[in-house]
Amino acid sequence: MHPFQYQRATSTAQAVAAVAPEPGATFIAGGTSHLDLMKEDVHRPSRLVDISLLPLKQITALAGGLRLGAGVSNTAAAAHPEIQRRYPVVSEALLTGASTQIRNAATLGGNPLQRTRCPYFRDPAQPCNKRAPGSGCAALGGINRGHALFGASDACVAIHPSDLAVALAALDAVVQTTGPRGPRAIPFPELHRLPGATPQVDTTLAHGELITAIDLPAFAGRSHYLKVRDRASYAFALVSCAVALEMDGEHVRRARLALGGVAHKPWRLPAAEALLVGEKPSEKLFRAAADAAFADARPLEHNAYKIPLGRNLLVQALLETSGLQALAGPAGTAFAASVGGLAGTFPAPY
Ligand SMILES: Cc1cc2nc3c(=O)[nH]c(=O)nc-3n(C[C@H](O)[C@H](O)[C@H](O)COP(=O)(O)OP(=O)(O)OC[C@H]3O[C@@H](n4cnc5c(N)ncnc54)[C@H](O)[C@@H]3O)c2cc1C
């Protein structure tokens, strides 16, 4: 690790003022992601501004929805009765992530801002345009079984790893921030960006912009999260899926779908969503939606298996959300063996 300054902020204004003018300064919340990157020599901050004592740990009612403070721990959010009752997709997504100990320290603000788990990004000996712009992308010609199907570029094929982010994208959550230019609200699907020619930039946040809260809009439907991974716990998604369905009697009034593990950002599925609206749930309908969802997938050498995996996962999640089928496993977890057609050829892990 390299030397750095450490500072504990006592107000949001002080935190922003400490980070914004210094290009190498950064916030640290639970530290579960950021400290790893420092130990791996991927990040070399000049200053860490600790935001863990800021008063951002409340969950409050908000115009029919909920406002989740950025400093709420993943554990506290997952266990919150109103989140479990009204937004199970959020609770399920959080509980599929990491371990209990990590979730106790991890925060809602830090989780969507964690960086990719691409092994080439985390190995300073490898070329990586995200870590060292202009150095190349080792994953393109390397082992890319965990990489993107959608929205990748010649510069970067990495995926975004947060489970929570997929659920928030499907709920059209809104990120509240304060920064050098004052407060603003960012629709969650606009928080993360595609890599293009500048994969080193993960989000649309300005340097020194602090997430203060995440707003969950009013939602009166059913929601669900499923994730497939190499191990049943303590592993990131190969593919995951968040579903939010609102019904009008027997017909779908509104459908919001997002995939994880397939792109540089949570991947919304507008074509599949449109197919569902006005229709009565059925497995045939859900299979048509899943086909539409993956019609534009562009697999790399080792990750084509994610297409049938993702299609079947989406169908399963829709069947379970609509009540056409009971939960196949513990909430939030799809097991390859228990989900019809999911098991396939899995290239060896890197
Ligand atoms: C072994 C392991 C397994 C894991 N498995 C999963 C998994 O399966 N699914 C999953 O989703 N996650 C997983 N994680 C990631 C974990 O959930 C994240 O590390 C954690 O949520 C990050 O939150 P934090 O508060 O610790 O962030 P930090 O590490 O403190 O910060 C992360 C980033 O966010 C920035 N930041 C933090 N808070 C704010 C804020 N309020 N405003 C602006 N910037 C901010 C920091 O500057 C930093 O860049 C895993 C982590 C580990 C170590």
Q: Whose CA is nearest to atom 48 of ligand 1?
A: 34
In short, whether 28's Cβ falls inside 6 Å of ligand 1 is yes
Residue 294 domain flag:
yes
d(CA 70, CA 55): 9
Rounded to the nearest angstrom, the distance between the alpha carbon of 51 and the centre of ligand 1 is 13
Q: For residue 66, what is the enclosing H or E element?
A: strand 65-69
CATH number of 248's domain: 3.30.390.50
Confidence (pLDDT) at 344: 33
Mutate to test the pocket of ligand 1, among 16, 102, 163, 211 (most ligand atoms within 8 A of CB): 102
CA–chain centroid gap for 210, Å, is 18
Q: For residue 239, what is the enclosing H or E element?
A: strand 239-248
pLDDT tens digits, one per residue of 56-69: 999 999 999 999 99
Confidence (pLDDT) at 67: 98
| 71 backbone dihedrals φ, ψ, rounded to 5° | -95, 5
In short, whether 160's Cβ falls inside 6 Å of ligand 1 is no
Q: Whose CA is nearest to atom 34 of ligand 1?
A: 110
In short, whether 210's Cβ falls inside 6 Å of ligand 1 is yes
CA–chain centroid gap for 133, Å, is 23
Write down the mean pLDDT value for the chain.
93
d(CA 145, CA 111): 23
Confidence (pLDDT) at 247: 97
Confidence (pLDDT) at 186: 98
Across 252-263, average pLDDT: 98
DSSP 249: T
Residue 242 domain flag:
yes
Q: Whose CA is nearest to atom 8 of ligand 1?
A: 97
Rounded to the nearest angstrom, the distance between the alpha carbon of 102 and the centre of ligand 1 is 9
pLDDT band for position 234 (50/70/90)?
confident
CB 313 within 8 A of CB 306: no
Confidence (pLDDT) at 172: 98
In short, whether 32's Cβ falls inside 6 Å of ligand 1 is yes
d(CA 180, CA 22): 12
In short, whether 111's Cβ falls inside 6 Å of ligand 1 is yes
pLDDT tens digits, one per residue of 138-169: 999 999 999 999 999 999 999 999 999 999 99
Q: Would you give the end-to-end CA distance of the chain in angstroms?
A: 25
**Closest-CA residue to 77 (of 47, 42, 107):** 107
Rounded to the nearest angstrom, the distance between the alpha carbon of 112 and the centre of ligand 1 is 7
Rounded to the nearest angstrom, the distance between the alpha carbon of 30 and the centre of ligand 1 is 7
Residue 293 domain flag:
yes
CB 195 within 8 A of CB 152: yes
Residue 300 domain flag:
yes
Q: For residue 316, what is the enclosing H or E element?
A: helix 306-322
Residue 305 domain flag:
yes
Residues 6 or more apart whose CB falls under 8 angstroms from that of 168 comprise 90, 112, 188, 214, 216, 266
Residue 64 domain flag:
no
Q: Does 208 score more than 50 pLDDT?
A: yes
In short, whether 45's Cβ falls inside 6 Å of ligand 1 is no
Rounded to the nearest angstrom, the distance between the alpha carbon of 211 and the centre of ligand 1 is 13
Across 71-80, average pLDDT: 98
In short, whether 106's Cβ falls inside 6 Å of ligand 1 is yes
CA–chain centroid gap for 114, Å, is 9
Residue 237 domain flag:
yes
Confidence (pLDDT) at 249: 96
In short, whether 93's Cβ falls inside 6 Å of ligand 1 is no
Q: What are the structure tokens assigned to 300, written together?
A: 């790399």
Amino acid at 221: G
Q: For residue 8, what is the enclosing H or E element?
A: strand 5-8
CB 60 within 8 A of CB 212: no
DSSP 185: E
In short, whether 236's Cβ falls inside 6 Å of ligand 1 is yes
Residue 236 domain flag:
yes
DSSP alpha helix (H) spans, 58-173: 74-79, 81-86, 88-95, 100-105, 138-141, 163-170
Q: Which atom of ligand 1 is nearest to the CA of 96?
A: 8
Strand partners, 67: 60, 215
Across 280-299, average pLDDT: 98
Bridge pairing between strands 210-216 and 174-179: antiparallel
Domain that holds residue 307: 222-338
Domain total in the chain? 1
Across 227-256, average pLDDT: 96
In short, whether 178's Cβ falls inside 6 Å of ligand 1 is no
Q: Does 341 score more than 50 pLDDT?
A: no
Confidence (pLDDT) at 333: 55
Q: Count the residues in the chain.
A: 350
Question: Considering the entire predicted model, what is its pTM?
Answer: 0.95
Rounded to the nearest angstrom, the distance between the alpha carbon of 117 and the centre of ligand 1 is 12
Rounded to the nearest angstrom, the distance between the alpha carbon of 35 and the centre of ligand 1 is 10
Residue carrying structure tokens 């991927």: 42
Strand partners, 183: 178
pLDDT tens digits, one per residue of 164-206: 999 999 999 999 999 999 999 999 999 999 999 999 999 999 9
